[in-house]
Amino acid sequence: MHSNWENIFPHAHPLSAEVLDALEATQLTLEFHEEVASRQAFEDYCQWYYKTADHHRRELQKMRGDLNILGWFLRGG
C-alpha cells in the first residue's frame, strides 16, 4: 500500500516508513468506522422493517375481524 500513498502525494519528499504506517493506520481506522456505521444503519433498517411488518400483520388481523360493509352493498346490488 506504500505506493498508493506516494501516488496521492506525488510532489512530497519520500515518505518515511513511520509516516506511511501512520497514514495506513489512519486509513484503516477510517474504513473500520465506516464499516461499523454501515452495519449499524443496516441493523437499524432491519429493526424498523420487522417492527413495521409486525404492525401491518396486526392491522390486517384487526381488519379481517371488522364488518365488511362494502360487501353488503356489492352483494345487494
Is the residue at 36 inside a domain? no
Rounded Cα distance between 19 and 25, Å, is 10
Is the residue at 64 inside a domain? yes
Is the residue at 73 inside a domain? yes
Which amino acid belongs to residue 70? Answer: L
Is the residue at 70 inside a domain? yes
Is the residue at 46 inside a domain? yes
With a cut of 80, say whether residue 12 has pLDDT above it: no
The model's confidence at residue 73, banded by pLDDT at 50, 70 and 90, is confident
With a cut of 70, say whether residue 63 has pLDDT above it: yes
pTM: 0.62
The domain total for the chain is 1
| 66 φ/ψ angles, rounded to the nearest 5 degrees | -75, 160
Domain that holds residue 74: 42-77
Query: What is residue 64's predicted lDDT score, i.e. its pLDDT?
Result: 85
